[in-house]
Amino acid sequence: MNQLVIDINPSTADPSVLVFRLAGHLDAQTVRELEQHYEAQVKAAKFKWVVDLSKLEYISSAGLGSFVGVLSELRGQGGDILFIGLSAKMEKIFKVLGFTRIFRLFADEATALQAFKV
């Protein structure tokens, strides 16, 4: 069984922003747990998310779809999902799917936090 390790913490530089650090496999099975975290954070009125994919080995279409699924809710509350740490391969997937037209990708956490301030 492929595992997904989910680590969610407020950014040290800006505690109003949550940083999701994902490691392992994000697929149709493991995405269920991640979606429970989405729900909990939205309930806790945390709408600004930075998602770090640098430790993620695999992402399935179900995993990708989950980000889009929660996106409109976050943006409706003035929040967003910003991605950091994409490998070249993952960036290509994002590009082909048109995700780069929906999401913004950043090199690191600091530049992503900067984008939230603008």
Binding site for other proteins (CB under 8 A): 28, 61-62, 64-66, 68-69, 95-99, 101-102
Give 101 or 117: the residue with its C-beta nearer to other proteins: 101
Give 41 or 66: the residue with its C-beta nearer to other proteins: 66
Length of the chain: 118
Give 45 or 96: the residue with its C-beta nearer to other proteins: 96
Min CB(8)–other proteins separation in Å:
19
Min CB(108)–other proteins separation in Å:
26
Return the DSSP state at 114. H
Give dist(CA 81, CA 19) in Å, integer. Answer: 10
Burial bucket for residue 48 (CB in 10 Å: 0-12, 13-18, 19+)? buried
Min CB(90)–other proteins separation in Å:
13
Handedness of CA 89, 105, 11, 114 (dihedral sign): positive
